[in-house]
Structure 1
Amino acid sequence: MKKLGILALALLMQHISAQNNRFVYQVTMKPDAENKTDIKTENAYLDISGEKSLFYSENRYKRDSILQKAFQGGVGRASINREQMEGLRSNINYSVEKDKSSQAISFKDRIGRDIYVYEEDRPLNWKMSSETTKIGEYKVQKATTDFAGRKWTAWFTTDLPYQDGPYKFGGLPGLIVKVEDDKGEYSFDLMKNYKIAELVTLNQFGNTIKVKRADYLKQQEKFKKDPMSFMQSGGGGFPAPPRAGGGGNQNPADMRKRVEERTKEEAKRNSNPIELQ
């Protein structure tokens, strides 16, 4: 009977782990290095299945869904409510996918017209602490790590059958309920979770280009200096996809000026990124 009980428990845990679950994190950020009082807060999803997990912005998903419906309906950008889209602006324009079998972490981010993908090449070396507390309904344990130029403190729980967390964080013997850097500039706080039918497929407008992390960083810098080269060629010499809805009447000089001004403003607003190294 004891063996049957153990087997039943193992099967139950396997069934729970195989379900698709969404964990909603509140992400708090201070992305502007010159204005630390400018605090950005938005929700992000960590969707977990038996094979992988996907971390992405709630606003980005909503924006992409609106664009996808507009283009599928054949009406293009003209039908899109600009005010609604502005309300869905996100500071989390990337997504992070973790493969459970290979333990690979894939980071995806848009530069210009295209999506750049790289596999994270830096391991997370956690230092476990015996310190425990309670966050919400979960009993949590402390762990710390140095990653990408920041010192991070995580609180994880074994009350849930997952060894995962928001962003690139994971590898602890439980789900990360909270993780923040020692300067209080970035934090991820679990708010709620619920079951979902399946993991979403994020819309990938433009080309998907696989690169090494170092090459991604080089392309980022190149984009900041000359954004128009990415808008015209797709970046790095790759052909750009055709533009929906024409747009051929725009003055090239005015267009270049607008893009460059917008890029500089974006760079200023994101001068304190989550990864400093």
Structure 2
Amino acid sequence: MASQWESLLQNLGEWQGSFTRFSPQGTLLEDVKSVVSLSGLNNNQTIRQIVSRQGQADLVLEYSSVARSTLFFANGAFSQGSIQLAPFTEFGAELGLIHEHRRLRLVQLFDKNSQLDKITLIREHLAGTEPVERPTLQIEDLLGEWQGEAVTIYPDLRSPDKYSTNLKLQLDDKGRLIQSLSFGERTITSSGTINGSKINFDQNQIQVLLLPNGASATSPLQLQLRQPLFLEVGWLIQPHVRQRMIRSYNNKGEWVSLTLVTEEKI
């Protein structure tokens, strides 16, 4: 199994793209061109990261280990963010997917009142490759049955878990979205109201935003203490291939796992 550092090295290169900021309701607020370069120093023992955003000073970071708040999958997909939910503090995470010469990253931030505050979608391609931009995700893209393979990794770096998933999405006669997710022995069914580019799942105050480039952002609108929670990014890479990443927290607010699902419509 690749080490966390080796998995991080999958992200080396110059990534050109943009940071697109949305309100919690999905309104586009700003779109800023960006270049993020990750280069290896001292035989890839150190990484220098330079983040250049139009109209802002460059951010330069150097590091030679992976932070406790960050986990990588073998293909370079990763998440970094809060390791503990606590009252009156900001909370959030970045979820980053990678496919061939493209990356899709999502940052979800909550304010000190535990309300969803900022959503940033980062779409990138490696310098020298053609950018491939998929249309904004539509509900019709998601309907049907998806068969997936999931890998769950853990902050304590114990062995990953691998299992199959099955996701069914359909509309009922009132136009509500019915979702049935099966993994292992468990099946979870939920229903949501579709409102333009938003889906609201009532029973748990979860919102899904449909975003450009086939992306989706799933999160609570309001964090609840002593309740488990998760943040999720989805990416429709091709009409029948989707990736999802889920960062999960337990009822004590502790970050407990990170899951990557690759699923195909059947």
TM-score of the alignment, normalized to the shorter chain, above 0.5 = no
TM-score (norm 1): 0.26
TM-score (norm 2): 0.27
Q: Which has the higher helix share?
A: 1
Q: Which has the higher strand share?
A: 2
Compare CA radii of gyration and give the structure with the larger one: 1
